[in-house]
Amino acid sequence: MKVRSARFVISAARSADLPRDGRPQIAFAGRSNVGKSSLINRMLGRKDLARTSSKPGRTRTVNFFLIDEAWYVVDLPGYGYARVSKREREAWGRSVDLYLRSAPDLATVVLLVDGKVAGTPLDSEAYGYLRSLEFDPVVAVTKIDRVKRGARARTLAEVAELLGMPSGAALFPVSSRTGEGVARLFGTLLNPESSPAGTTEAEDLRR
């Protein structure tokens, strides 16, 4: 799937700024530094569209990118970044919460979990929170290049268990560095009805 155009539209800090033009939105959520912005760039084949950083806390507002004039990618600020003031953390939480609760065109939320860390209690909290808002998050396990091939199936199983995912639910191992798994995730996001779904079996990982 080739993206013809991708452009930054708005960095929304207030409800009034949120695009409400009926075009579907796909949002990327996850801990600070998990690789949200990097995955967005890799998926869209645009190197520097979403700003990335080795320091956590790069993305601080809800950022909208319009793809092929038809749908939006939404880069959310990460959670769990300790080195900002409590006030600022609360402000981020509020802006994400406001967006998730009031975006009628939000079709899918992708929850990113760091494969190297295999998730934290905050990820499990985020997953539960998204489910409580009646989203069925697509879970992507990031930085999979940093997990040895032989350990990947176990990592995915650990993440699924930590989040309390329904049995058989799909996980998508991805690496923005090598590109592994990115096309598969992208294909599913654009066409949720089509299989193949994500990987749950160790066998798939050895291909």
Ligand X SMILES: Nc1nc2c(ncn2[C@@H]2O[C@H](COP(=O)(O)OP(=O)(O)OP(=O)(O)O)[C@@H](O)[C@H]2O)c(=O)[nH]1
Give residues in contact with ligand X (CB under 6 A).
30, 32-38, 52-54, 56-59, 77-78, 142-143, 145-146, 175-177
Q: Closest distance between ligand X and the C-beta of residue 52, in Å? A: 3
Site string for Mg ion, 56-75 (x = CB under 5 A): --xx----------------
Collapsing DSSP to helix, strand or coil, 30 comes out as: strand
The neighbouring-strand residues paired with 37 are none
Chosen residue from 25, 27, 29, 37 binding Mg ion by CB under 5 A:
37
Residue 90, classified by CB atoms within 10 Å of its CB into exposed (0-12), middle (13-18) or buried (19+), is exposed
Q: Closest distance between ligand X and the C-beta of residue 6, in Å? A: 16
Closest-CA residue to 97 (of 49, 27, 38): 27
Q: Closest distance between ligand X and the C-beta of residue 158, in Å? A: 18
CB nearer to Mg ion: pick between 36 and 152: 36
CB nearer to Mg ion: pick between 8 and 157: 8
Q: Closest distance between ligand X and the C-beta of residue 91, in Å? A: 14
From CA 141, how far away is CA 119, in angstroms rounded?
A: 9
By DSSP bridging, strand 71-75 and strand 62-67 are antiparallel
54 binds, among ligand X, Mg ion, none (CB under 5 to 8 A by kind): ligand X
- Report DSSP state, residue 103: -
From CA 14, how far away is CA 16, in angstroms rounded?
A: 5
- Scan residues 90-149 and list those touching Mg ion (CB under 5 A): none
From CA 78, how far away is CA 143, in angstroms rounded?
A: 16
Q: Closest distance between ligand X and the C-beta of residue 44, in Å? A: 13
Residues that bind Mg ion (CB under 5 A): 36-37, 58-59
